[in-house]
Amino acid sequence: MLTRFRHWTLSRVAASARALRAESASLLVPAWLVIAIGALLGVGLSARPAMAVQQASLQGIVSSGRTGAPLEGTIIVLLSGDEELRSTVSDRNGFYQIGGIAPGDYTLRAQYFSVQPFEQTVTLSPGELVTFNIELSGDAISLEGITVTAPGGGGVVRNLGRQRITPAQLRTVPVPSGTGDLATYLQTLPGVVTTGDRGGQIFIRGGTAADNLILIDGAPIFQPFHIFGFYSVFPEDLVSSVDFYAGGFGPRYTGRSSSVIDVQLRDGDPTTYRSIWSGGLFLAEGLVEGPLGDHFSWLVSGRRSLVEETSRFLLGNTQPITFSSQLLKVSTHDIENLRCSGLALRTSDKGRLDPEAWDSYVAWRNLVLGGRCVALFNSWLRLVEINFSYSRVENNAVIRGSGDLLSAIRRLQHDAHTTNMIWGLPLYAGYVIYVELVDHHIVELFGLQRSVADVSGIGGYVETSLGVEDYLEVRPGVALTALPRRGAEPRIRASLQPFGRPSEKLQAAFGVYLQDLVGASDMRDVSSVFVSWMRDPDLPPMVAVQGMMGWQQTLGDAVNWSLEGYYKRLRDVSVPKWSAVAEFGTELTKVDGEAYGLDARVEWTTPRFYGFAGYSYGWVEYEGDSEEFGTWFGETIQRFHPPHDRRHQANVVANLEVADFTASLRWQFGSGLPYTRPLGFDEAFDFRRDLQDVTAGTGTTRMILDRPFTHRLPLTHRLDIAVRRSFAVKSGVLEITAGAINVYDRRNMFFYDLYSGRRVDQLPLMPYAAITLRAD
């Protein structure tokens, strides 16, 4: 019976191969890849039916006994006597499942970091699905995830291309405030490039800022990083966990080609009213949370920058940058097998990146409304996650008093994700439906450009997990899009423990990633943070085919090192057409590209010390037909390194506990970013269409530029330090932080204003202090 079923599945796959080959040309992916992944899915699904009838399954949610918050990363082990049969790790919903278990008696063990392990005997009957929810309690856990007694603050957890980031890790990197922040932490990761200490954009492994998918409790957010580069809408006190993919993400995530930052916020405390108040020279923030009835909790947070007010006496000149954010989250608790939450988030950023450019500024505002429910079922449909969200961002920039740039994107989205068990094999599937309105309104030298596009999207995905014991896991999957255009994005991820030890892991991922949405910015100026969101239905989507492979190893008890290489082929990358005439171009053209690199990281963890050093080598090049640019370069084919192509980057972070103090430092280094070197300014006349009367007007001012991006800005490096001490006070815990940014006062260039000949540097030596009160 098994043989007949398998034969049927393979013949079906073979029969559709011809159709797929023909179809794949329009689906923009290699046919062989679609067929290969489809075959893997089919073989995997077909291999189980006969055995699955007799086998049992175990599932459940691991949560905090006090707050009910899901505990991601709990190691679940199924033991038969002393023999370890199967193991798995709970996901971000706290969900675990183990299938294909022979009937019998077992011991179920749950281990969450250094918390006392939980053990329970379970008896499984043939074909039975047992739901076993686990609640863990312990003094060592602060169940909001703020402090977790993980060794040394928490080493990086990587699996299948995903890096899980915890609040404890956010705390290890000095931030000029009382709490850690995801923005600063991400910048220490290899492959993550920023333009400096302001701007709010990150570039990951050769992708642009618009190529990153950022989610907050499942809702998209377009520009979550604040204009002051240390901060984002994700401070450590709000974050439960972050799934960060620098590439190689699975088919659950679509619409972006470079990276995924999937942030889970923690819920409010359902048992106790708490508050956190922090004030310092850079930032003031407050957080209040508590129960709401028997089954709800709430959390309210607000942040506001103080840089503009304090920089005057700290630096002697005002840094005209301001930002703020407000968050409200309501969550359910103690409802069996169901968790729901709703959130409302608003952010506002505004500032002059060049303090002396009085007639220029940039601003953006986010609004995110989201609702999510996660439910556990006792059937083949195991876990269902349903999201509804509305996300909006509005950008605005005024350039030298004349250009007025506006861009907005509004997205209404519904998505659902299921975790299933089909014939003993995990199956992950879901869909997304959205309506998106993209708008830009550009008034500049040559008048008005206006464009509005509304787009509807429908897509779905399926993925499974094929394992051989515990040392090999392969996850083939595919994302399918029906609107706004048909597409298939096959992806495969794998994790191998070649020596049977989880401390030594080889991981790889390969896949196709499509992106329709374009975030155009002025590529001539790397510090230009205004993003014009655009969709052009007449242009093909960007296609990224990328592969990555990495090795991770733990040496002894203290050292963990990893090495990961990646390679991307990019097709139809949208870039603005260029001109030596100063104007924000929204006319797009397409180029192809190539990116590759190597990321290395070493971590050292002891009871009193945690530190890591990371290095990344990156290389990105675009190639396009010169005629497509609308401007003449003198060559038929133009190759250039885009302005976010940082060749070398290094970070060193160290945390040391001495007596009651925690000292931390961060040293960062980056090689120079590409820029286009000019000869100077003149006024030009176009004699192609008529004899020009040079007395009748000024002509058109232009910057005579050399070949694009053939020069590099200076390298940058900076040392930040902080010292922190906590005191127990009557109302809670008082924490005092003092530190300095740019300790050796290095002049790191942020950008050079070619129009005025003025250099704008990043922050000089800037001391700071902050007080944080965590009150019950």
Partner 1 sequence: MVTSKRRSTTVRSAWSLFAVIVALLQVACDETFVALAESERTFSVFGYLDPAADTQWVRVTPTRPVIFTSREPLSATVELKALGSGKTIVLRDSVFAFPVFQQTGADSFYVHNFWTDEPIEPGEVYEFKASAPDGLPATATVAIPAEFPITVALNQVSQAASSVDQARVDGTAHIAFVRVDVYFHDGCGNGLQVQNFPAPRNGSGSHVVQVSKLNPLAREGCGDARVHRRMLRIIGSQEPWPTGPQFDIGALGASAIPTNLTNGVGFLGGVLTRTVPYEPCTLIGPDPRPTHCELSYGPEKATVRGILTDVCGARILPNGEIALEELPGQGQTHRKMRPATTDLTGLFVIQGLDPGLVYELRATHLERDPDLDEPVFDVYVDTIGPLAPGGEHTHNVSVPRLLPC
Residues within the interface to partner 1 (CB under 8 A): 359, 400-402, 445, 578-582, 627, 630-635, 667, 676-688, 690-695, 697-702, 704-708, 711, 713-715, 717, 719, 744, 746-747, 749, 752, 754-757, 759
Instruction: Give the SS3 label for residue 170.
Output: helix
Between the CA atoms of 618, 258, 545 and 485, what dihedral angle is there, to the nearest 10 degrees?
-150
Q: Which is nearer to partner 1, 6 or 717 (CB)?
A: 717
Identify the DSSP state of 51: H
Q: Which is nearer to partner 1, 42 or 678 (CB)?
A: 678
Question: Residue 682 CB, nearest distance to partner 1 (Å)?
Answer: 3
Using CA of residue 630, residue 634, residue 638, residue 640, what is the dihedral sign? Answer: negative
Cα(508)–Cα(491) distance, integer angstroms: 11
Cα(147)–Cα(520) distance, integer angstroms: 40
Instruction: Give the SS3 label for residue 530.
Output: coil
Q: Which is nearer to partner 1, 365 or 707 (CB)?
A: 707
Question: Residue 679 CB, nearest distance to partner 1 (Å)?
Answer: 5
Question: Residue 760 CB, nearest distance to partner 1 (Å)?
Answer: 12
Residue whose entry in the numeric block shows the structure tokens 């939450």: 341
The answer to whether 618 touches 597, Cβ cutoff 8 Å, is: yes
Other Cβ atoms closer than 10 A to 686: 9
Q: What is the largest CA-CA distance in the chain?
A: 96
Q: Which is nearer to partner 1, 199 or 708 (CB)?
A: 708
Other Cβ atoms closer than 10 A to 539: 15
CA-based nearest residue to 458, from 609, 255, 302:
255
Question: Residue 446 CB, nearest distance to partner 1 (Å)?
Answer: 11
Q: Which is nearer to partner 1, 569 or 677 (CB)?
A: 677
Chain centroid offset of residue 659 CA: 36
Question: Residue 684 CB, nearest distance to partner 1 (Å)?
Answer: 4
Q: Which is nearer to partner 1, 565 or 678 (CB)?
A: 678
Question: Residue 536 CB, nearest distance to partner 1 (Å)?
Answer: 21
Q: Which is nearer to partner 1, 688 or 730 (CB)?
A: 688
Q: Which is nearer to partner 1, 727 or 744 (CB)?
A: 744
Question: Residue 280 CB, nearest distance to partner 1 (Å)?
Answer: 25
Other Cβ atoms closer than 10 A to 650: 17
Query: Beta 296-305 vs 321-332: how paired, if at all?
Result: antiparallel
Name, in order, each residue with C-beta under 8 angstroms of 173's C-beta and a sequence gap of 6 or more: 180, 184, 185, 188, 653, 664, 666
Cα(762)–Cα(744) distance, integer angstroms: 13
Q: Which is nearer to partner 1, 309 or 683 (CB)?
A: 683
Q: Which is nearer to partner 1, 312 or 758 (CB)?
A: 758
Burial status of residue 556 (CB atoms within 10 A of its CB: 0-12, 13-18, 19 or more)? exposed
Which two three-digit tokens encode residue 462? 């399926």
The answer to whether 154 touches 83, Cβ cutoff 8 Å, is: no
Question: Residue 448 CB, nearest distance to partner 1 (Å)?
Answer: 14
Which two three-digit tokens encode residue 704? 């005579």
Q: Enumerate the β-bridge partners of residue 300.
A: 288, 328
- Phi/psi at 221 (5° precision): -135, 135
Q: How many CA atoms lie within 13 A of 551 on its CB side?
A: 5
Size of the chain in residues? 776
Q: Which is nearer to partner 1, 677 or 725 (CB)?
A: 677
Name, in order, each residue with C-beta under 8 angstroms of 650's C-beta and a sequence gap of 6 or more: 613, 614, 615, 616, 668, 669, 670
Residue whose entry in the numeric block shows the structure tokens 């830009």: 440
Q: Fill in the amino acid letter for 751.
A: F
Q: Which is nearer to partner 1, 120 or 756 (CB)?
A: 756
Question: Residue 705 CB, nearest distance to partner 1 (Å)?
Answer: 5
Q: Which is nearer to partner 1, 90 or 528 (CB)?
A: 528
Q: Which is nearer to partner 1, 283 or 754 (CB)?
A: 754
Question: Residue 668 CB, nearest distance to partner 1 (Å)?
Answer: 12
Q: Which is nearer to partner 1, 627 or 776 (CB)?
A: 627
Identify the DSSP state of 102: P
Q: Which is nearer to partner 1, 679 or 728 (CB)?
A: 679
Q: Which is nearer to partner 1, 266 or 641 (CB)?
A: 641
Residue whose entry in the numeric block shows the structure tokens 């990633």: 513
Question: Residue 217 CB, nearest distance to partner 1 (Å)?
Answer: 41
Question: Residue 559 CB, nearest distance to partner 1 (Å)?
Answer: 17
Question: Residue 692 CB, nearest distance to partner 1 (Å)?
Answer: 7
Cα(697)–Cα(449) distance, integer angstroms: 24
Buried b (16+ CB within 10 A) or exposed e, 195-216: bbbbbbbbbbbbbbbbbbbbbb
Instruction: Give the SS3 label for residue 24.
Output: helix
Question: Residue 362 CB, nearest distance to partner 1 (Å)?
Answer: 17
Question: Residue 707 CB, nearest distance to partner 1 (Å)?
Answer: 5
Chain centroid offset of residue 43 CA: 33
| DSSP calls for 439-508 | EEEEEETTEEEEEEEEEEEEEEEEEE-EEETTTEEEEEEEEEEEESS-EEEEEEEEEE-TTS-TTEEEEE
Query: Beta 425-444 vs 766-775: how paired, if at all?
Result: unpaired
Question: Residue 396 CB, nearest distance to partner 1 (Å)?
Answer: 18
Q: Which is nearer to partner 1, 689 or 730 (CB)?
A: 689
Query: Beta 749-753 vs 758-761: how paired, if at all?
Result: antiparallel
Cis amide bond preceding 484, omega within 30: yes
Question: Residue 634 CB, nearest distance to partner 1 (Å)?
Answer: 2
Angle at 66 between CA 60 and CA 68, to 5 degrees: 40
Question: Residue 759 CB, nearest distance to partner 1 (Å)?
Answer: 7
Cα(274)–Cα(774) distance, integer angstroms: 8
